[in-house]
Amino acid sequence: MKLIITRHGETDYNVKGLLQGQKQSKLTENGIKQAKALAERLKDEKIDVIYTSMMNRSIDTANIVNEYHKFKIIKTELLNERAYGDFEGKYGDKDYDIPNFKERDKKLRFTPKNGESVVKLKKRVKKFLKILPKDKTILIVGHSGTNKMILTVLLKTPLKEWTKLKQDPTCINIISKKGRKAELKLTNDTNHLEKAGIKKIKDVGTVY
């Protein structure tokens, strides 16, 4: 199995510095350019199936890539970004009404009100990975949090280290998986953006 894991393009929430979570948000003009550069990079890649979350930003990015492949895209809630509940749509630390949110969130079972814990996210991602077809090349168009968790689960890294991973808009990660062994071939690669002269903003729309 070969997994090509990418993140959606830049969104209006990213630009504004809002925490997205499972709120819907739109790709910016720059985000659409990023997705088109990603599509150009992947146009000759042999892909058997495409999975996305139920979030518009993921679906729209996948649709742009799919213009070269013409697959029926499989949408699943299992790939949705982590739910941050009442913190979604807020501006960084100054809007968080729980003191020391980041410190509390490092406790992997901490659950934001109406949201989900890191432990619950891991269980959801593991459930997603179990439904993937074997011996296929799979494109996953996900989110910063879900992508980091996929990498964490497959590479069997300590869960407490998951936030140290970085996922830029439309970055590419490639993992080769045989049986229980997974090998990381590429991570957070955005050469397609640099080559196209497309800017990357500082992504402040996530907690970490």
67 burial level (CB within 10 Å; 0-12, 13-18, 19+): exposed
- Between CA 134 and CA 130 the distance in angstroms is 10
- d(C-alpha 2, C-alpha 132), whole Å: 11
Burial of 72 (0-12, 13-18, 19+ CB in 10 A): exposed
Catalytic one of 81, 88, 116, 192: 81
Active site residue 8: yes
Q: Of the listed 8, 69, 143, 192, which one is catalytic?
A: 8
Q: How far apart are CA 197 and CA 131, in angstroms?
A: 37
Catalytic residue numbers, as ranges: 8, 81
